[in-house]
Amino acid sequence: MEKRFLELFKKYNYEIFPTERINLDYIEKEEYQDQDEDVEFLDSMVLEKNSNNNLRNLIDFPFSSTFFRYFLDGSRKVYKISDIAFGNKFLPIVCAQIGVACSERNDKLIKKYKLYNKNIILVPDIMSSLDIDKIKDDLESYSNHGIKIDYLERYEHKRGHNRKPLDLALAKVIQKMQSIEINQIIEMTNSNKLDTNKMLLIDGSLQFSDKRINEENFRNVLGISKSFNVHLTNILKKKNQEIGTILTRLRYGQRTPVYRIPISSNKNITIGAWYLRIRDENKMKNSLDGIIKVEKIANTKENEHIEGFESFVIDNISRNLLEERNVTCYGSDKRWPNHLYPIYLTERLIKDSFISDLYFMSVF
């Protein structure tokens, strides 16, 4: 009979306690990627040339054919599987399935380009690095019912930290997932898969903490967020006004001007962001349904980080995004008003590749 993975920790005299094994996705709400976006009110916050700070209508903007070729998404399923004692500390052990998929559209067909599935165990960082290395060595040669562990990582735990240990573990899982996404983008850039007529859409914000986020790797990449922080203030020369109150005035096919996002973790890049309504507001249940947030890294060679983006470039991108909204996934996903269909298909590719919760948790 195969031993469960947690038996490897007992081998090094760690005290493991049983607990109800649960999928944290059902109880731990993920923070918005722009949750910590802190915009100081400045006249230079608008990052678009000749912008009069008005909403722009794209319905009549010309459209010929799309220049979006690739679609990238990451997803994870995170579980609390046990507790572990360290002296007077009682902390959770977390495991996760991570999936990253990239789809390619060619001749109107969308097919899988790459799919990565990785399994990870997370333990508190008060576990000794020596023991971590020993357990990693054991995991390399061990599998249970065909399931292997690809990563053993430590999540940060500090006395007096104002975030719960489970939140810290979840943040580490997301960081690992984003690292795999970035690896895929770098690989595609280095192999010349991307250009201005073969752009990549990534599901989510470009506000990564990873230092490999740079202009060269992300020149032909856009970040698309289905959900975002509606309480951001000081945007678009609207002092102390929350962005949600501005977005309620967006009509179908309209976008906001581009604003500058200050990235504290990476001073070498400037990100421009704008909001676009892709669904008829009269057919939405909620006032902000059907609005997406778009992010693009400014090109320093063209002085975009200082002078801003050309309006026709942002209009062209936004018009292309409007064409990606159909067909919808209506009824099969409650987020359907904010989904771009190729990204939805890419997300389904990942979720269908995951092992069932009960089977996965049983090997620990």
Per DSSP, the residues of 22-67 read: EEGGGTSPPPPTTTT------GGGB-BTT--S--EE-TTS------
Q: Please compute Rg for the chain using Cα positions.
A: 22
The per-residue pLDDT for range 174-198, each reduced to its tens digit, is: 999 999 999 999 999 999 999 999 9
Residue 41 is predicted with a pLDDT of 43
Which span out of 71-75, 322-326, 343-347 was modeled with the highest average pLDDT?
Answer: 71-75
Q: In whole angstroms, what separates CA 41 from the centre of its chain?
A: 27
The reported pTM is 0.89
Please name the residue that has the structure tokens 């997301």: 174
**Omega into 78 within 30° of 0, i.e. cis?**
no
Residue 327 has pLDDT above 70, yes or no: no
Which span out of 6-20, 31-45, 80-94, 188-202 was modeled with the highest average pLDDT?
Answer: 188-202
Q: Are the C-beta atoms of 202 and 69 separated by less than 8 Å? A: no
Q: Which residue has the higher pLDDT, 264 or 281?
A: 281
Q: Is 247 left (phi over 0), alpha (psi -120 to 50) or beta?
A: alpha
Using 50, 70 and 90 to split pLDDT, how confident is the model at 328? low
The two three-digit tokens of residue 347, written as one number: 């997300």
**Kind of pairing, strands 143-144 and 22-23?**
unpaired
